[in-house]
Structures are given as structure tokens and as C-alpha cells.
Structure 1
Amino acid sequence: MIRKPQNTVVRFLKKFNFLIFFFIFLLVGLVGAFFWWRWAVGPVDLTSAEVQIFVIKQGEGGKSAAQRLQEAGLINNAWAFRVLAYLLGLESQIQAGDFQLQPAWSARQIAEAFTHGTMDIWVTFPEGWRREQYARRLVANLENFAEEEFLTLTSHKEGYLFPDTYLFPKGASAEQAVAILEGNFAKKVPADWEKMAATQDLVLAQVLTLASLVEREVDQSQSKSIVAGILLKRWRAGWPLQVDATLQYAKASQACQSCGGDQFDWWPLVTAADKQLPSPYNTYQNSGLPPGPICNPGLDSLKAVVQPQETDYWFYLTDSRGQMHYAVTAEEHAANIARFLR
């Protein structure tokens, strides 16, 4: 019985020692976490004067961007950067574009830089647009863009301005914009396309012209190769192509001598009278291909021309719902017109 007080003291000392050890361990952990966090969100190199251009892609997620920042040597830890951006309420404010960043900046400075105005602007050009439509979109998005200079520089480049989403400097000149568009065309339509064109006894310029017709005439990707086959067959047989989109191109070009503004209809409805329009682009009055592309086609239309589908059809039309209807004879085509267009 006389040993109980001693046992109680021993147990108390053991508990006390455990608590001391626990609090010391906790304190060391907190101090370690503090210094780790300070390192993780601090500058990679405070003495560096280097400037890097970092691009956040359109639609890119925060996880991907943070990982690339770490790989580029601009932040110490991708996870800490994302947590910091969330805690600061900046995660939803990050913009796409390109930014001038420095390894000497903290993670907070970099996160805040992403929420300010970007150096560049993302601009999208849909398939089937004319160069004038490109010009209007550039005017709407870039600072003091020289529209007339752009139109002059692209006067012989219809079809070569590849439809895509581009990153332009805010203050890009017309010459810079054209160079960016041409550079992307060279990537998307490389030199081996000349070989692909040759399989159909065509050169690239002819492929672009035919593809531009397909682009404007057909909405459904699966129908493009059929229409391309029909147009190639008619052209080789010496038939007029009779493509309404060429009349739209000619009609709008003649109506617009100095037509700025965004409301101009570059693809107007075609009337029976328009088939008499005096224009080299009138494929009702002139046989052969038009002088050049009538728009800037996408890859689907280009592929349709170099890989056309052979059929017995010589005629086609698109109804009001966008559905294609084909015919072998002129009589069948006339019946389709009466049924689907009147």
C-alpha cells in the first residue's frame, strides 16, 4: 500500500513527458510547415532579372497552368500556388493570354498578374469566313488595328488565312497579324499537301478554291466528300459548277465598295436574277473554277477535296433544315428543288 503514491507520480510524469513531447513535435511541425509554405509561395530566385513570356491557353485549367509554371521555374510549388490563388479569391479571375513574368516574383505577384490585362488577345475565326470578316473581328479586338492595310496585304490570300483561334498582341500591326495567320496555315497545311493534291491531279491553289466552295455549301462533315466529288466531276466534264456560294461572294463584293461596320451581310441570299450577275465568280455563267477561293476553309473541307467520295450523283442541294439531297439527272434535281426548296 505504501507504494501507490510512487506509482501515481510515475504515471503522472509519463503523461507529462508525453504531452511535452507531443507539443514539441507539434511546434516543430508548425514551424516546419511555416517555413515550407514561405518557401513554396516565395520567389524562385529573388536576384534574377530574367523575364519570361508565359502563355495561359484558352480553356486551360488551373492545375495544368500551375504545373507548367513550376516546370518553367517561375514558382516553387504548383500545389501551393493553387491553394494561394484560391485563398486570395483569384482562381476564377485568371485570364487566358500571355504574360511577362519573372522568377524574382512571389507566387502572389504571379497570381495577381494573371488577373490583370494580358499582353495578347485570343481571337477566333470560324471556318468559311471571308478576309473582310477577319478584318472586322481584328478591328473589334485589337487596339487601333489598320483594317485597310490588312485588306491590302491579304488581297491575294483568301483561302490561306486558316480558320482557328489565335493569340495576337493587343497592338498588333496588320503585317504582324498576316504573318501570324500565314504561319499557322503553314503548320496546318504543310508541304505534303501538295502531294495529296497531286493524287487528284490538282495543285494546292485548286484544292483551296474547291474546298472554299465545299465549306460554304455544306454544313455536315459527312456530306463534304460527296459534294467535293460532285464538283470535281462537273469541273472535269466541263460543266458549270453552279455553286450559289460563288454568287454570294460576287454579290457581296460588288455591293461593298467601302462597307465598314459589322452589320454588312457578306453572304446574302441569292435570287434568280443573281445568276446573271457579271462576275468571274459567277459559276452559273462561267465554266471552270472561280478565280480563287471564296472563303477560308477548314481541314474537313480540304480533306474532302483530296479524298472525294465517288458517286453517280451530278447534282446536290441543301434544304432549309441543312439536309443534303442528291440527284443523278437534271430531272431528278428539278424534282428535288420543287420538293425541298419551294
Structure 2
Amino acid sequence: MNQDINRQSPDDQPARWPLFWALVILALAVPALWWYLDPTPRADASSKPVTVVVRHGEGWNDLTDRLHRLGIIRRPLIFKALVVLSGERGHLLPGRYLIKRGTSARDLIATFTDASNQSKITIPEGFRLGQIEDRMLQLGLTTPQQWQEAINNPPKSPLLASKPKGVSIEGYIFPDTYIFTEENAAQQLVREGIANMQKHLSKDIIQGFKRQGLTINEGLTLASIVEREAQIPSERPIIASVYLNRLRKGMPLQADPTVQYAVGKRGEWWKSPLTRQDLKSDSPYNTYVHKGLPPGPICSPGLPSIKAVAYPAHTDYLYFVAKGDGSHAFAKTLQEHEQNIQRYLRR
């Protein structure tokens, strides 16, 4: 009798159907609602990345409007709300970013708040313009045309006053890390690199150049040679003194890095070893053929090499030869130098 009472009547079973259909509708509605609310449209695999520049002083409102115009987001208000909810509203970083279409809102916010995503370049000490261009091209920061336009039309600067006409800005871009916040990265690098070099050339350093009888261009030129020669920091002022002593005596510098610069080409910017034919190359930068300093720097010297020229060691050395371990053997006379050659190069 009790079992009959507890048994469900067939008339009660249809009551489950409204709940079933509600769950079905909900399952379909959630993705549809998310698709509608998702602020970032999808993109096919062939879509090319877009360069987005965030300038100093800009906020999320400016950036959101730009992303909307570029078609990277489709619902600006929702994107702005997600920024607020993410807690990253005050963490927008200026920079130049490469954004793939179809990137989710969460990943977009993460991109614009992570310094590792900023377009940047680090120029090591001793890099020549060709190497800087190679790195800029590899990072997708410039084109060959933009690069040539930038280096051939540098901004006006007191730093360039002593640079001979026709000589490039080689050596005038200070080795450092540069973060790009402009569309034309090559132009920004040239402008900021020269300004950075000018900032590091203090009055004391410029006076130091003058005490050695050097203009700013000549000081940077000799510093660039020291940069390529020295491997041990403590030897920089000594190497600078050798070259200064040779200049005062009217002796050719006979610096291998200047020949490497003269014969260098893409894929082999610093040829080593040099051949006898290389040492005879008729280039104004070849200090085996031409006495005095080259027309301009051969690379971007770092501050230690610049200071080494401004404040050289006081020596009577006229020669040096590499020992093979990064250090050099210095000599005052040709006889001592030849003995060092026998000891370190012909053993």
C-alpha cells in the first residue's frame, strides 16, 4: 500500500521537461553571451601582426580607442571594464608593441603591462652601425630604407660639430638599452642614441680630450679603437697611451681594428685573422696605410674606453702585442716589441 503511494505517477514526469530545456538554453546561451561580450574579434592565421605604440603620458582610454580603430578590439567599453577588473589600470607601460589580431583581452592587458613585451634593443659596446642595423632588422623594428634615412639625416646636435663632413654617425650612438615609443624606431634610436652620447660626454671628459690635443670626434675615434682592442678593463688607459704616444711621434697607429672596419662586410663585420692584402687596403680607415686617426669612429665606444682616452695612463709604450689570453705585452722599443712577438705569436 505504501509503495503505491510513493510510486511516481506518469502524469508527474513531464514536470522535468522545463528544467531540461532551461539547462539546454543556458548551455547555448553562455557561449553566445561570451561571444557577444568578448571584446576581441577572432582573426585568421594569415593576419599580420600590428604595431601599436603607447606613448609616455597615454592611458588606457587612448590605447583602447586606438585598438578599436585598428580592429584589435570590437567592444571598447567592455575592454575598459576588464582593465579595471584586472587591477592593471595604473600599470600601462609606454612602448612599441607587436600585437597579433585575435589576441584575447586578458593577453592584451598582460602584454601592455609587462616590460618584457616592450620593443627594445640593447647595443653592446663595440658594435658598428651595420651590426646595429642587423639587430634592428632581426627584431622587426625597422626597414633598410628607414635605417638609411635615419642615419643619413641625424638631428642637429652640438656633439656632431667636430665630425667631418661626409663622415657617418658611426660611433655617436651610445651603447645602451633603448625602449621604443615611436612608430619610426630607427629615427628614435638615432636621436636618443646621439643625445645619450652627449649626456655621457661630461665637461671633464671633453677637457680630457682637449688635454690630449683631440677634438670630440677624434676622442671618440680613438676611444672606438681602444674599445675594439682592449679585452681587460685595466688595460684600456694603457692602450690609449700607446696610441697617443704614436700620434705625438708621427708614427702610424697600425691598429688592426681599423683594418677590420675597412674590410668588414655583412656576415663578417670584424674579419679575423687579417691577411697581408687586407693590411694594404686603400681605405682612409686603414691605419697601416695612413698616418694619424681615421676620419671617424669605427664602432660605438663605451664610457670606460672614452674615459681611457680622456685620462690615459702615463707611459712610454709605443707597441703592444696580444698574449693570447686577452691581455697584452707592452714595449717601449721596437726591439722589445719583436721579442714579445717571438714569445707570444711565434711560439
Above 0.5 in TM-score? yes
1:114 pairs with 2:116: no
Please give the alpha-carbon distance, in whole angstroms, between the structure 2 residues aligned to 1:194 and 1:125: 23
Please give the alpha-carbon distance, in whole angstroms, between the structure 1 residues aligned to 2:199 and 2:323: 35
Deviations 1:81-129 (A, max 9, x none): 9xx89xxxxxxxx9986499xxxxxxxx9767424985x4221001111
The 8 Å contact of residues 97 and 121 in structure 1, kept in 2 or not, is answered as: no
Deviations 1:239-258 (A, max 9, x none): 01110111101111xxx4xx
Please give the alpha-carbon distance, in whole angstroms, between the structure 1 residues aligned to 2:271 and 2:334: 26
**Aligned mate of 1:126, from 120, 124, 127:** 124
Aligned residues with identical type, % of pairs: 37
The 8 Å contact of residues 221 and 297 in structure 2, kept in 1 or not, is answered as: yes
State the superposition RMSD in angstroms: 3.2
Q: CA deviation at 1:144?
A: 4.2
1:335 pairs with 2:347: no
1:292 pairs with 2:291: no
1:238 pairs with 2:260: no
Amino acid corresponding to residue 181 of structure 2 in structure 1 = P
Query: TM-score, normalising length from structure 1?
Result: 0.62
Instruction: Give 3-state SS (helix, strand or coil) of 2:279's partner.
Output: helix
**Aligned mate of 2:327, from 314, 323, 330:** 323
1:266 pairs with 2:281: no
1:183 pairs with 2:195: yes
Q: CA deviation at 1:308?
A: 0.6
Instruction: Give 3-state SS (helix, strand or coil) of 1:166's partner.
Output: strand
Match for residue 11 of structure 1? none
Q: CA deviation at 1:150?
A: 3.6
Match for residue 176 of structure 2? 164
The 8 Å contact of residues 245 and 317 in structure 2, kept in 1 or not, is answered as: no
The 8 Å contact of residues 171 and 224 in structure 2, kept in 1 or not, is answered as: yes
Structure 1, gaps ≥5 residues long: 1-50, 55-80, 86-93, 101-108
Amino acid corresponding to residue 233 of structure 1 in structure 2 = N
Q: CA deviation at 1:143?
A: 3.8
Please give the alpha-carbon distance, in whole angstroms, between the structure 2 residues aligned to 1:95 and 1:266: 39
Please give the alpha-carbon distance, in whole angstroms, between the structure 2 residues aligned to 1:213 and 1:117: 33
The 8 Å contact of residues 229 and 311 in structure 1, kept in 2 or not, is answered as: yes
Deviations 1:38-65 (A, max 9, x none): xxxxxxxxxxxxx9459xxxxxxxxxxx
**Aligned mate of 1:139, from 121, 130, 137:** 137
Match for residue 152 of structure 2? 152
Q: CA deviation at 1:283?
A: 0.9
The 8 Å contact of residues 222 and 240 in structure 2, kept in 1 or not, is answered as: yes
The 8 Å contact of residues 121 and 170 in structure 1, kept in 2 or not, is answered as: no
Deviations 1:152-180 (A, max 9, x none): 34662111111111112373243222112
Q: CA deviation at 1:192?
A: 4.8
Instruction: Give 3-state SS (helix, strand or coil) of 2:180's partner.
Output: strand
* More displaced 10-residue stretch of structure 1: 224-233 or 154-163: 154-163
Amino acid corresponding to residue 194 of structure 1 in structure 2 = I
Match for residue 225 of structure 2? 213
Please give the alpha-carbon distance, in whole angstroms, between the structure 2 residues aligned to 1:124 and 1:148: 19
The 8 Å contact of residues 211 and 297 in structure 1, kept in 2 or not, is answered as: yes
The 8 Å contact of residues 142 and 170 in structure 1, kept in 2 or not, is answered as: no
Amino acid corresponding to residue 195 of structure 1 in structure 2 = Q
Amino acid corresponding to residue 246 of structure 1 in structure 2 = T
Deviations 1:281-323 (A, max 9, x none): 1111211111111111001001001111111221011232212
Amino acid corresponding to residue 241 of structure 2 in structure 1 = G
Instruction: Give 3-state SS (helix, strand or coil) of 1:193's partner.
Output: helix
The alignment of Structure 1 onto Structure 2 pairs a total of residues equal to 240
Please give the alpha-carbon distance, in whole angstroms, between the structure 1 residues aligned to 2:111 and 2:179: 21
